Amino acid sequence: MTTNGTSMPKNWASDMERLTKYLISSVESELQELNLPPEKQKEVITQVIKDIYDRNKLKLPDSIREQLFQRVHNEVLGYGPIQPLLDDQEISEIMINGSKKIYIEKAGRLTRTNIVFDDDDHLMKIINHIISPLGRSVDADSPAVDARLPDGSRVNIVIPPCAMDGPMVTIRKFRKEKLSIEQLIEYGSITPGMVEFLRACVIGRLNTIISGGTGSGKTTLLNILSGYIPEDERIVTIEDTAELQLRQDHVVRLESQKANARDHGEVTIRYLVRNALRMRPDRIIIGECRSEEALDMLQAMNTGHDGSLTTIHANSPRDALSRLETLIMMAGMDLPIKVVRQQISSAIDLIVQVSRVKDGSRKLVAITEVAGMEGDMVVMSDIFKFTQTGVEADGKIVGEMKPTGIRPLFGPRLEAAGFKLGPELFGATMADMLLANRQKR
């Protein structure tokens, strides 16, 4: 196939498609004959493609040849048509709804791309690229699987018969560079006053739950708050899929394991939480509390492991406590609801609520103290709260995150840890402070 670079033949697109498929097939056959391990295949694939290209006496413009080589490389050892999406650092999520509908989340907004797979078989081939190195499989008998890409990105796969419109793949991408607190302030996700308060709470060893919906930024905030833990403490992290990027030196990272094809080898979050208590942790961080491990986490918090952190899937601080109650009940303990709530109120000090608002941005919308029990109810007090005031013409949410004027009851604990937070941080005006000084006299 030749071209002078000035005009394309009528059948150029179909010819290129046939050429691409021919090269893919030839490269796969040659690599199979070489019988190399995956890491060695990556080293030689470019030369293999070039050799096949030269043997067929193909002559294409440099830019088109490079695109062709890259596409073949992506199909043989990468993730096919979605590889450019995975390489784009601005894309946070990829959603594949069958072979012809691929959506992305970028800057908080969902967009449908013009990228497609040839058909469901093509998509299944890429799915197998994802899961086969992990020793996992997906088929009609086991149509759903969770996996992780080598870069740490989380993958969920569901195929027919459960997926009615073809294979479904959702990829939550892993950020190589974690967001800094300065960036969150710049984006308007959090205020400097909130940062000062949360830093004091982490160093002051308050037990904290980060609550939020799917994709609201719970893990991002957990990463940032974990960064305030002092270097001289032993931290044990427990996750379903390792995502936390702690910078401290003394970190023990534990990850749960699914059962294998013979239904053996499962290691649950609950087992790891129990095991962590025997590892002399100063802090326990659980990536997400979603099952009966909630009971073990609360017991750990109530027995000297202060300063523990976790996330939970809920849409408000009150919902977070309700969900926590439900998770504890799942542990099989036949406890009266009042006893469960007493356990929660004595263990949890703070709930930090994050949300993805309608314009796609993530915001910290409430910092709420768990203040104790009143009768059968857990008492909660908002320390900071986001209030929406309007919507701009471009759909951007306008609002203000500010203190409510309520000072937390755990203030003396923060002072004992060396943090004397001024009344202005909690919304006190100059008049309030002058009046307080007069009353002291």
pLDDT digits (tens, 9 = 90+) for 82-127: 999 999 988 999 999 999 999 999 877 889 999 999 999 999 999 9
Q: What span, in angstroms and rounded, lies between the C-alpha atoms of 75 and 58?
A: 20
Instruction: Kindly list the domain boundaries of the chain, sorted by start residue.
Output: 12-77, 88-172, 181-436
Q: How many residues does the chain have?
A: 441
Is residue 282 within 8 Å of residue 304, measured between CB atoms?
A: no
pTM of the predicted protein model: 0.80
Q: What span, in angstroms and rounded, lies between the C-alpha atoms of 336 and 283?
A: 29
Tokens of residue 404, six digits: 């409510």
pLDDT < 70 stretches in the chain: 1-12, 260-263, 428-441
Topology agreement, domain 88-172 and domain 181-436: no
Question: For residue 336, with 0-12 CB atoms within 10 Å meaning exposed, 13-18 middle and 19 or more buried, which class applies?
Answer: exposed
Which CATH number does the domain 181-436 belong to among 1.20.1070.10, 3.40.50.261, 3.40.50.300, 1.20.58.220?
Answer: 3.40.50.300
pLDDT at 17: 82
Q: Which CATH class name applies to 88-172? A: alpha beta
pLDDT at 112: 95
pLDDT at 169: 96
pLDDT digits (tens, 9 = 90+) for 403-440: 999 999 999 999 999 998 888 898 865 445 444 455 44
Q: Which residues contact 362 (CB under 8 A, 6 or more apart)?
A: 108, 187, 189, 216, 217, 220, 354, 355, 356
